[in-house]
Amino acid sequence: MFLIASGNGDVGMDAAWEVLERGGTALDAVEAGTRLVEDNPADHTVGYGGFPNLLGEVELDASIMDGSTLRAGAVGALRGYRAAISVARRVMEELPHVLLVGEGAARFAAELGLPREDLLTPEAAAVYREGVAGKLPARFRNAEGSIMSDVLRRAAGIAADPERAAGTVNFIARDAAGAIASAVSTSGWAWKYPGRIGDSPIIGAGNYADSRYGAAACTGWGELAMRASTARTVVLYLRTGMGLEAACRAAFADLAELDRDPARIIMSMVAVDAAGGMLAVSTAPERDYVYRTPGMAAYARAHRLHLPVR
């Protein structure tokens, strides 16, 4: 039994561990932990209070995966509902689909009876006005002061870096029965072009779990994780017999093959193997994560292994 999460998952660690301790499933644990991060208005990378897109609208992405059955559910560009991870799980359990996006995801959330709300908090709105809207010349605005649709593509050029102004929460758990599950939730790249979906809801890119071998979940430059299928790649390397650290190193080395300056590639990941090994890595130094195993009185925080892409 174990639990690992990105550093911002700390607010959900106790709830997730309580699920595992009372004999609950890994799926229940990762959902419970993620929900508390989505509820945290102080976290501008996930759920309620997340930084918005270029139009000032909060759009959420999330996915969850059951490593024992390889079932998965995901939502993308979900507006008006903070519990993106729970909607993703219900997609997995109630629909013959894996991914719902935009209006379809919101419709499904409403059918589930979830409360609709404005996810843009005053604090996040103020940062948006000062950080994006405030940088646009007057000619890029209409009478109401919003960004004109015909200049959105140019405005997207001032979007913030994906991990300097936004991020993701990752949870991976293994329960007492040996089942592994993973969950990812995010408000995405701050000031993104409306409708942009990153790696978080893409199974195989930002999230993948297989109880036979292990699991991985990513945060960072999602477009690169999608192109390299980073999370699935780690699990495939584990399947070939690689150790956990070697598998993570190999997956990060794959990122160097993409047409980007390696020094500018931002990627972080938490990963586990079926034997109980846990590892967190990042291309940036001194990024942290949290974890807990049986015998620990509380979760612990540690620095990730620094793996710059070369």
Could you give the 3-state DSSP secondary structure of residue 253?
helix
Structure confidence at residue 161 as a pLDDT band (50, 70, 90): very low
Q: What is the architecture of the domain spanning 2-306?
A: 4-Layer Sandwich (3.60)
Convert the pLDDT of each residue in 285-308 to its tens digit: 999 999 999 999 999 999 999 999
Which segment, 10-24, 141-155, 250-264, is predicted with the most confidence on average?
Answer: 10-24
Mean pLDDT, rounded, of the chain: 90
Question: With pLDDT > 70 as the criterion, what percentage of the chain qualifies?
Answer: 88
**pLDDT (mean) for 119-144:** 70
**pLDDT (mean) for 94-123:** 98
Which residue numbers are catalytic?
168
The C-alpha atoms of residue 181 and residue 233 are separated, in whole angstroms, by 17
The C-alpha atoms of residue 135 and residue 100 are separated, in whole angstroms, by 33
User: Between the CA atoms of 277, 282, 286 and 288, what dihedral angle is there, to the nearest 10 degrees?
Assistant: -50
Convert the pLDDT of each residue in 168-219 to its tens digit: 999 999 999 999 999 999 999 888 889 999 999 999 999 999 999 999 999 9
Q: What is the pLDDT of residue 128?
A: 84
- Whether the CB-CB separation of 180 and 68 falls below 8 Å is answered with yes
Structure confidence at residue 139 as a pLDDT band (50, 70, 90): very low
The C-alpha atoms of residue 293 and residue 276 are separated, in whole angstroms, by 9
**Is the predicted pLDDT of residue 147 greater than 60, yes or no?**
no
**pLDDT (mean) for 221-242:** 97
Could you give the 3-state DSSP secondary structure of residue 248?
helix
Strands 60-66 and 180-186: antiparallel
**Is the predicted pLDDT of residue 151 greater than 70, yes or no?**
no
Phi-psi region of 47 (alpha: psi -120 to 50; beta: other; left: phi over 0): left
The C-alpha atoms of residue 195 and residue 77 are separated, in whole angstroms, by 6
Half-sphere exposure of 104 (CA within 13 A, CB side): 12
Task: Give 305 or 157, the one with higher predicted confidence.
Answer: 305
Q: Residue 33's closest CA among 202, 218, 208, 170?
A: 170
Query: What is the total residue count of the chain?
Result: 310
Q: Which two tokens stand for residue 114?
A: 């979830």
The C-alpha atoms of residue 140 and residue 218 are separated, in whole angstroms, by 35
pTM for the model stands at 0.91
Identify the bridge partners of residue 215 per DSSP, sorted by sequence position. Answer: 209, 272
Q: What is the pLDDT of residue 248?
A: 98
**How is 58-114 classified by DSSP, letter by letter?**
--EEEEEEETTTTEEEEEEEE-S-S-HHHHHHHHHHHSS-SEEEHHHHHHHHHHTTP
Structure confidence at residue 130 as a pLDDT band (50, 70, 90): confident
- The structural domains of the chain, with segments of one domain joined by +, span 2-306
Token pair 């945290």 in the structure block, residue:
40
Q: What is the pLDDT of residue 148?
A: 45
Could you give the 3-state DSSP secondary structure of residue 218?
strand
**Is the predicted pLDDT of residue 6 greater than 50, yes or no?**
yes
Q: What is the pLDDT of residue 310?
A: 80
Q: What is the pLDDT of residue 153?
A: 52
Could you say which DSSP state residue 308 is in?
-
Question: With pLDDT > 90 as the criterion, what percentage of the chain qualifies?
Answer: 79
Q: What is the pLDDT of residue 179?
A: 98
Q: What is the pLDDT of residue 133?
A: 56
Structure confidence at residue 150 as a pLDDT band (50, 70, 90): very low
**Is the predicted pLDDT of residue 238 greater than 80, yes or no?**
yes
Could you give the 3-state DSSP secondary structure of residue 9?
helix
Task: Give 251 or 189, the one with higher predicted confidence.
Answer: 251
Q: What is the pLDDT of residue 136?
A: 53
**How is 258-293 classified by DSSP, letter by letter?**
SSS-GGG--EEEEEEETTS-EEEEESSTT-EEEEE-
